[in-house]
Structures are given as C-alpha cells and as structure tokens.
Structure 1
C-alpha cells in the first residue's frame, strides 16, 4: 500500500524554525531625548519665516488687527476673483466685517456652507483662493498646523490654486513636541492634523521639481503679531 507523505505548510515550517531558535531579547539602552531649541517670540517668527520662505512660501508679518487689510491688498495685487472662506471659522467674522461682499476690485467672497457634493464645480473650477485659520506653527521645521473642521474642511487647503493661512505669532512653538505638550494633544486628537510648510510639490525620476501638481501652487502665510 502506497502512502503519500504529509507536506507541512511553508508558514508552519517557518514559525517552527523561529520558535526553535529561541526568543532572546536584545536590550536597548535608554537614549536621552534630543535637546529642543528654546527661542523667544521674535526668534520663533524669524526661524519659521526663513524656513517657509526657503520652500517658496510667501510670508507676511502684520499687526493683528491689520491682517484683513493685508489680505485685501493681496487680493487686489494678485487679481483673485473668488475667495473661499468659512463663515463660522475663527476668522470668518473678521473677513465678513472687513469689507462688503460686493467691494470693487476685491474677489467675490464665497462662503463654504454647502455640502461638497453640491459645491464641486465651484470648488474645483471657479475658486481662486481659500483662506483658513491655523492651529499654530512649528519653528524648528517651518510649518503651520491645521486641524480641519466642518467649518474649515481639508478641501479648503487642498483644492484651490492658492491657500492663505492665518497664523497667530503667539501660537508659534519651538517644536512639534512643545506644541503637543502645551496644548495637551493627548486629551483629544483630531481625525486629521496637517503640517504644511509650502506649496504642493513633486519631482519626477529626473529630479525635476514641479509645484502645484497635487494641491495649491501657492501658499501664503499671514502672521498676526
């Protein structure tokens, strides 16, 4: 009588060899955390500005009350036609009170109050610029931090050709760790936290850098001091 040998599955053979080899653990010595920079307010503004400017971000430092005026000036200078904003966002009321909806020479205000399915054509085809608030900034990497909300969804910083981010100077931290600690992120993280350092960019196999392929071609940060 012929008998057919039982072939042990490959997966079982691999695990059997691993178990037979032992489970000795290699001790990893504790390493001290790298020392974080400690910068004063002006140094944080200067470092963040330098790093973001180096990757083609346009940064404007203005008095806190004057930022809507600077936004208006940028709109006129750059010829924006339609500006998207969140009426119920932290900066929405300031935008609405800064100029009338039909102000001559300034882009038409487009409030983000519709469901995205009914707003796609405007969002993808007619809006020139979107302006959003920020959670804060990180000086040692040169980035602004966004926590998208229903009032300011992720699409506002992703789809329009130009993204304007409004940042408070007092919300610029030395490092990401400093920001997370100071604001107690452990108590409640968002579903989507964004760190943005410059306009969208990508490179092909020949290392040719192209801007604006997967997002805004232009990033403008207005720092309110």
Structure 2
C-alpha cells in the first residue's frame, strides 16, 4: 500500500462510528448583503475597478473593435496579441483586415519556449475574453484555455479584456452556482480587479511590477 493510500485508510477508519455534523451553512450570509438590481451591477463594478486604476468603456457587441482600434491608436500600440480562433479573435481580425494602418495581430499559437523573448519584450498588449465579473468585489473572472493561455493576460503591459454586461453577477456564490463550478474547474481560475501593483517598504505604490500595468475593460452591452 502506498503512503497516500495508507493515510487515506487511516482517515476513513477514524470516522467509523461517528455522526456527521449537520450542515447549517446560511447562504444568505454571503449573498443577501451583496445583491444588486441588474441595472446597478455595471455602476458597482465600475466604481470598484476604477478605484484601483482599471479603465472601463461601455460599447456594443458589434462596435467594440472600432473602440479597440481607437484605444490602440491613442496609446501608440502597434501590435496586439489575440486568440485568432475564438469568436472575438475572428471579429477583430475581420475588422482590421489587410489595412496598411492596422496593428500587427499576433497569435499565441506555439509553446512559450519558442518565442519567450518576443512575448516578454516585444508584445505590448493583449486581448482576451472573460468568463464574467463579480459586482460585489469589482472583479473580472479569467478562465484560461488552450486558445487563451494564462500568460496572455499576465505578460503584456496592456491587457484589454472583453466583458459581456449580461455576464456580470452580484457575488461569487452566484457565479459558482450559475456556472456550475463544482462540476469542473480549470487549473487556473483568476479573479482580477485591476492592473498589477506592489508597494515597497516605504508604501510607494508601483504598477506593472508583476503583470500588466494597464487593465482596460470593454463592457459589451446587449444591443
């Protein structure tokens, strides 16, 4: 018997003859104080995320590529890391087409070891989707996939995140229940409230030390 199996067997034997303690967990304790009218969720999210230097823009499901183009131009960003096989990756690719003034669209289509230097040193911005957001804490939910690996949201200095307004929920419990997290989770589920920041011993706040310096959220209203 392996060490792991031996430990588990001892734990099971220790429970013999015992009675489980009734589960008196009160869901209202983590939901009732953090519930909002649907029309208030965006305002609540904006208030909390802007307080930690996140930039938010309201747009539509058809109009966001035009807004993205303007934001890239305003920041003089010449290239953008995308997931070209996703619906939003295809949409932004179609928007820019083969225009001479379009930014270079990069695809995360190879192992990081094959282009680590370019990813870390010559990729100024990325675009990813989100799984939704939590109004009570002002947090985005990032769910890395094979198409959108975790490094897409962590390495480039500027991170553009697409968020559907219809996927903003009141609190974390509501997200877990409605999206059935108990049925399966990824190796990394990220809750992100703002750009990367840290402070030294003198409490001087610095942005971008361990991740994106700028987080820009495009909220796609249902139109």
Coarse TM-score class (shorter-chain normalised): 0.7 to 0.9
Partner of 1:144: 140
Q: Tell me by how many angstroms 1:50 deviates.
A: 0.9
Report the Cα distance in structure 2 between the residues aligned to 1:119 and 1:29, rounded to whole angstroms: 51
> Could you report, residue by residue, the CA deviation over 1:52-93 in whole angstroms, capped at 9, with x for unpaired residues?
001000000112210111101101111001100011224111
Tell me the C-alpha RMSD between the 2 structures.
Answer: 1.7
Q: How does 1:69-80 map to 2 (within 5 A)?
A: 69-80=66-77
Matched with 2:180 is 184
Q: Once the two structures are superposed, what CA deviation does each residue of 1:177-206 show, in whole Å capped at 9, x if it has no partner? A: 101101111111111100111000011112
* Match in the other structure for 2:91: 94
Structure 1 residue 103: Cα displacement: 3.8
Distance (whole Å) between structure 2 residues aligned to residue 107 and residue 213 of structure 1: 26
1:61 matches 2:58? yes
Q: Tell me whether 1:111 sits opposite 2:143 in the alignment.
A: no
CA radius of gyration, larger in: 1
Cα distance in structure 1, aligned partners of 2:154 and 2:205? 19
Report the CA distance between 1:217 and its aligned residue. Answer: 0.5
Residue 199 of structure 2 is matched in structure 1 by: 203
- What is the DSSP-based 3-state SS (H/G/I as helix, E as strand, rest coil) of the residue aligned with 1:65? coil
The answer to whether the 8 A contact 1:86-1:151 is kept is yes
When the two structures are aligned, how many residues end up with a matched partner?
198
Q: Secondary structure at the match of 1:124?
A: helix
TM value normalised by structure 2: 0.84
Aligned 1:141-180 pairs, distance under 5 A: 141-180=137-176
Tell me the TM-score normalized by structure 1.
0.83
**1:34-53 map, 5 Å:** 34=29, 35-53=32-50
CA contact (8 A) 1:44 1:172 kept: yes
